[in-house]
Amino acid sequence: MADKYRSFPELAAAETQGGYEVRTRYSGATLILAPHGGGIEPGTSELAEAIAGDDHSLYLFEGMKERNNRDLHITSTNFDERECMTALHRSDRVVAIHGEDSETDIVFIGGRDAELKARTATELRAAGFNVQGVDRPHLAGEAPGNICNRGRSGAGVQLEIAAGLRASFFRHLSPRSEREHETEAFRRFVDAVRAGIAT
């Protein structure tokens, strides 16, 4: 599905400000971000926030509309919200959390940081998750302009988490899932990604 907006300024000119929210926190040289959080790709905000914890920086762009949050999706190579650009310039490496649409239990891993990608995949598989290489170019996260590769190192990791797997992370997956409704699978996933970053 094609994006409605080609850039953040285009989105901001058309959408009411209460329809989205930007949250940024600086805590370290690794940035965990969810550019399609809230109701855009449900569950990704909660995952990014938990993975960031207290020791990694965090950026969230969240859809807050009652409906049609998908309109707020800006593809990763075009994402240019101002606070996000500042966070990227302050970060050595980036891990981007996305939602993929299929009802499978797969997490697709991409990005240009081969070492971090391999460590994260190893930790996720050890925790029992079905990790696959990317079979579609638009999920590969290998373009230099992809948001995951725009930190200071020029290389990052992109996790595309299938809708079926995200649904298993909450007792009820919704546009604004409640953190207290997280499942044991959510915590295993978060711990595995954090271990990959820390190794």
In a domain, 1, yes or no: no
Spatial separation of the C-alpha atoms in residues 22 and 81, rounded to whole Å: 9
- Token readout for 46 is 């909660």
115: helix, strand or coil: helix
How many domains are there within the chain?
Answer: 1
* pLDDT of the residue at 30: 98
Phi, psi of 13 (to 5 degrees): -70, -25
Look up residue 158 and give its amino acid.
Answer: Q
DSSP notation for 178-196 = -GGGB-HHHHHHHHHHHHH
In a domain, 3, yes or no: no
In a domain, 122, yes or no: yes
Q: Which residue has 């994402």 as its token pair?
A: 79
What is the CATH classification number for the domain harbouring 86? 3.40.630.100
Please state, as a whole number, how many other Cβ atoms lie within 10 Å of the Cβ of residue 115.
Answer: 10
Structural domain boundaries enclosing 189: 8-198
β-pairing, 30-38 vs 93-100, is parallel
* pLDDT of the residue at 133: 83
Spatial separation of the C-alpha atoms in residues 77 and 10, rounded to whole Å: 15
Low-confidence ranges of the chain (pLDDT < 70): 174-180
Flag whether the pTM goes above 0.85.
Answer: yes
In a domain, 142, yes or no: yes
Span between the terminal Cα atoms of the chain, in Å: 37
CA atoms within 13 A of residue 116's CA, in its CB half-sphere: 23
- Token readout for 166 is 């995200």
In a domain, 2, yes or no: no
Alpha helices in 134-183, H assignment, sequence order = 163-167
* pLDDT of the residue at 175: 65
- b (16+ CB within 10 A) / e for 87-111: bbeebebbbbbbbbeeeeebbbbbb
- Ranges of beta strands (E only) in the chain are 20-25, 30-38, 57-63, 93-100, 106-110, 130-133, 157-162
* pLDDT of the residue at 104: 94
Spatial separation of the C-alpha atoms in residues 165 and 112, rounded to whole Å: 24
